[in-house]
Amino acid sequence: MQKSEVKGLLGANDLLSIVEIAKKDRSIIRMLISLVYDKEDVQSWRSIEAIGLVSREIAQTNAEVVRNLSQRFLWMLREESGNGPGSAPEMLGEIVRNSPDAFADIGQVLMSFHDEKMLRRGVMRAIWRICEKRPDLLTMTNELLEHKLYLTDDDVVVRAYAIMIAGILGLKDFLPIIEELRNDQSLVSFYDRGKFTQTTIADIANKVYAGISGGEN
């Protein structure tokens, strides 16, 4: 399989074809990993999403391969690794999202890296993606809750993920903060369902507030 062919499938957002190829050629996951580094390119995000889907396919017959890959990504998050984290948090999030029962422990470990500012955006995205699929899978730590889930973080994307996580988990204790964020007109862009979504913190907060509070204004 040539990288140009994989890029073509990513360009068409044909992730299912990539999974089909992975059934015969598992080395495609290495090719996908090599394509995840430009966060401004939608194809990089599709690669990250595809890694989760391909990992699920591989894990059905050889979970150890995916666990080893996950451990490698976790090592990249540690300072002593000497490597930049790249897109490791996001890739781990997709792996856990797609094989939650097999790798729940990986998700819990990943969550512990939230206090590293350089990793926070990726870790919060991973938590959002995992909770979106399996809201019961992760246990929010006291430390994360003490940080108020980073609902008031300086990074607008972190704020967006935090609001959506609070909404999925129905965290009513944070309603007063979310109510304040209904006035936050900061623009935010993030990848979701094959494309970049552009909205405002206020729009996200309004939807989540209505969901948690039962529609009260």
Q: Please tell me whether residues 111 and 164 are part of one structural domain.
A: no
Overall domain count for the chain = 2
Q: Please tell me whether residues 116 and 149 are part of one structural domain.
A: no
Asked which of 134, 161, 181 is the last residue of a domain, the reply is: 134
Asked which of 84, 111, 134 is the last residue of a domain, the reply is: 134
What local confidence, expressed as pLDDT, does residue 14 receive? 98
Q: Please tell me whether residues 31 and 57 are part of one structural domain.
A: yes
CA distance 80 to 34: 22
Q: What is the pLDDT along the chain (217 residues), one digit of tens a residue?
A: 688 999 999 999 999 999 999 999 999 999 999 999 899 999 999 999 999 999 999 999 999 999 999 999 999 998 765 566 789 999 999 999 999 999 999 999 999 999 999 999 999 999 999 999 999 999 999 999 999 999 999 999 999 999 999 999 999 999 999 999 999 999 999 999 999 999 999 999 999 999 999 855 4
Q: Please tell me whether residues 161 and 111 are part of one structural domain.
A: no
Q: Please tell me whether residues 120 and 157 are part of one structural domain.
A: no
Three-state secondary structure string covering 30-62: HHHHCCCCCCCCHHHHHHHHHHHHHHHHHHHHH
Asked which of 108, 134, 160 is the last residue of a domain, the reply is: 134
Residue 195's domain spans which residues? 140-217
Residue 142: both structure tokens together: 């006291």
